[in-house]
Amino acid sequence: MAVRLHVKVCEAHDLIAADIGGKSDPYCKLKLKSFGKKDKALKTKTIKETLDPVWNQEFDLTSKSPADDVLLISVYDKDKLGKDDKIADEIELPLSNYPLGEVKVEEISLKRKKKKKAGTLKLEIQVFNEGDAPAAAPAEEKVQETNEPVPCQLRVLLVSASKLKKMDPVGKSDPYCVFQLDGFPKEDAFYWKSSTKDNTLDPVWNEEHVFQVRDYNKDVLVFKMFDKDIASDDQMVDDVKFHVNQFPMGQEVEWSEDVKYKKKKGGHLVIKFQVLEANAEVKTRDIVLDTSSHSSKSNSHSHSHKSCSFTLGSYSSSYSTSFSSYTCSHTLSSLHSSEKKLHVHHELKAPSKSAKPVRVSDSISGTIVSCRDLPKADSDGTDAYVTISVVSKSAHEKKGKAAIKTEVAKDTQDPVYNHSFEIEKAKKGDSLLVKVVQQHKILSDVCIGQVTVPLKDLKDNEPVEQEYELQKPPKLPKELAQFVDFGKITLSLTHSVKYQ
């Protein structure tokens, strides 16, 4: 029987110094011994320049054979130039050592080459049956382990990028960035698009946005970068996912890392993050305009500029600098000759109207998470992919509407996809027809399970993750006709509705 493994990588102490400066940039990798070649190891964040890192990150894994399976954990030093170095020997923890439902705290002595001391690593491990909830956390950590959602705000400062890939045949690139909370609609609270920087491989943005996070412990922010193009925008780097709880509450954390594009070097990116309490007042920052390159009258601190402009997030404006009605308490002479501070005021909201809001658009976004217990469609397993189509009230697929399609998961009856998608112009009376399809290299592909999800069952603007039981498809090959159970599929869906 399959079990779930809940692992919290807490902290490490007295690690070996891997860098010349006497520090390390440690992170952990963890996986199960039963993982296949295509299953990627899970990774913690990298904590820079420390021998005593604190991660406090949680991971969930599934094992089909807990009696024989082993949890493998390695501690690495992040190296920007060469290959990452192992700080200590790989740790092997048999799952059979952990009674079901119990939270076990492990203080592990790390070794290097089986002899040399390499520090200690603290973990919390719990094994439980699929479908069961994890046991309660120790008393001192109940706040972190609670199943109740922890709302907060995530402040993101997109600083800069460098050494990006040249995307345009003539010139360089025109990069812009997109941030979105995974599984949430394209609304200001959950989605942000930066400005476009024209013809550069080293853009500087210094643009900021605040996201409204529903759950500190579960929500994930997805980063994408594109090159602006007249025909179609091209992705410049691979997606980067940030778990909100990888950032300590209240602290500003700078993320400065190399990014890749299709497993090759894609450039370097600098972003700053800060998690704030849900009710915290987010203060605006003064915007400093560098005017040192412009002429100014010596000793008088006055400028010949007549106007200036600035951009903050999605808001931009122009201001006269004649200061004929200047009311700030600071005199102009107190401002340095190389800068002017623009005092930013919050936009005043129009008084609410009593008129009933009009529904102007509907869309569906979400993630095809995974399937389990699919029928074994051929001798070496199942090679399945998932499609989603919109079905109208008359129970017919909309013509001309391309189905969402995942990649093929080879040789497994429990595929994991984590495929994000968005469908525009989906009406409340429509449904989603979800099909699991077996790929054949020679014959036609065959649907081996399907389910219909009515959009009316989804709450407006609220993400819902649910496991659905797959039903027998109308047409099924004779060799699969004996199957009664067609497995299950997990979907995360949001019905986004906009009003005017």
At residue 326, the pLDDT reads 45
Give which of 469, 466, 456 is closest to 492, Cα–Cα. Answer: 466
At residue 399, the pLDDT reads 46
| Domain closes at, from 231, 248, 277 | 277
Instruction: Give yes or no: residues 82 and 192 share one domain.
Output: no
Record the tokens describing residue 454, joined without a space. 């009515």
At residue 192, the pLDDT reads 95
Share of the chain above pLDDT 70, in %: 75
Domain hosting residue 484, numbered range:
360-499
pLDDT tens per residue, range 229-250: 877 778 888 888 888 888 888 8
Instruction: Give yes or no: residues 157 and 262 share one domain.
Output: yes
Of 327 and 373, the structure prediction assigns the larger pLDDT to 373
Domain annotation covers residue 258: yes
Alpha-carbon separation of residue 272 from 67, 116, 144, 159, 251 (angstroms): 43, 37, 23, 7, 10
pLDDT tens per residue, range 419-473: 988 887 777 678 889 999 988 876 788 888 999 988 887 877 778 888 899 988 8
**Cβ proximity of 434 and 469 under 8 Å:** no
pLDDT tens per residue, range 269-310: 999 999 999 888 876 554 444 444 333 333 434 344 444 445
**How many domains does one find in the chain?**
3
Instruction: Give yes or no: residues 103 and 162 share one domain.
Output: no
Q: For the ranges 250-264, 273-287, 352-366, 410-424, which has the lowest average pLDDT?
A: 352-366
| Domain closes at, from 237, 259, 277 | 277
Question: Span 181-198, mean pLDDT?
Answer: 91
Q: How far apart are CA 469 and CA 371, in angstroms?
A: 10
Instruction: Give yes or no: residues 174 and 104 share one domain.
Output: no
Give which of 139, 136, 138, 140 is closest to 148, Cα–Cα. Answer: 136
At residue 305, the pLDDT reads 44
Instruction: Give yes or no: residues 403 and 462 share one domain.
Output: yes
Listing DSSP states for 278-304 in one string gives: TT---PPPPEEEE-TTS-B-TTT--B-
| Domain closes at, from 65, 97, 129 | 129
At residue 34, the pLDDT reads 87
Domain annotation covers residue 141: no
Tell me how far the alpha carbon of residue 408 is from its chain's centroid.
22
Domain annotation covers residue 194: yes
Whether the predicted pLDDT of 116 surpasses 60: yes
Instruction: Give yes or no: residues 178 and 245 share one domain.
Output: yes
Whether the predicted pLDDT of 332 surpasses 80: no
At residue 496, the pLDDT reads 80
According to the per-residue pLDDT averaged within each range, which of 293-297, 367-371, 491-495 is highest?
367-371
At residue 117, the pLDDT reads 87
Of 60 and 137, the structure prediction assigns the larger pLDDT to 60
Domain annotation covers residue 259: yes
Instruction: Give yes or no: residues 69 and 120 share one domain.
Output: yes
Give which of 269, 496, 485, 489 is closest to 364, Cα–Cα. Answer: 496
Whether the predicted pLDDT of 180 surpasses 90: yes
Of 42 and 285, the structure prediction assigns the larger pLDDT to 42
At residue 338, the pLDDT reads 41
Domain annotation covers residue 462: yes
Instruction: Give yes or no: residues 366 and 494 share one domain.
Output: yes
Record the tokens describing residue 246, joined without a space. 């990888």
Instruction: Give yes or no: residues 473 and 378 share one domain.
Output: yes
pTM of the model: 0.37
Confidence category of residue 147, pLDDT binned at 50, 70, 90? low
Whether the predicted pLDDT of 140 surpasses 80: no
Of 477 and 261, the structure prediction assigns the larger pLDDT to 261
Question: Span 341-346, mean pLDDT?
Answer: 44
Q: Could you give the 3-state DSSP secondary structure of residue 333? A: helix
Domain annotation covers residue 145: no
Q: For the ranges 72-81, 188-197, 441-450, which has the lowest average pLDDT?
A: 441-450
Domain annotation covers residue 49: yes
At residue 428, the pLDDT reads 67
Instruction: Give yes or no: residues 387 and 263 share one domain.
Output: no
CATH number at residue 240: 2.60.40.150
Instruction: Give yes or no: residues 76 and 156 share one domain.
Output: no
Q: For the ranges 6-20, 41-55, 299-313, 395-409, which has the lowest average pLDDT?
A: 299-313
Q: For the ranges 44-48, 330-334, 384-388, 466-470, which has the lowest average pLDDT?
A: 330-334
Average pLDDT over the chain reads: 78
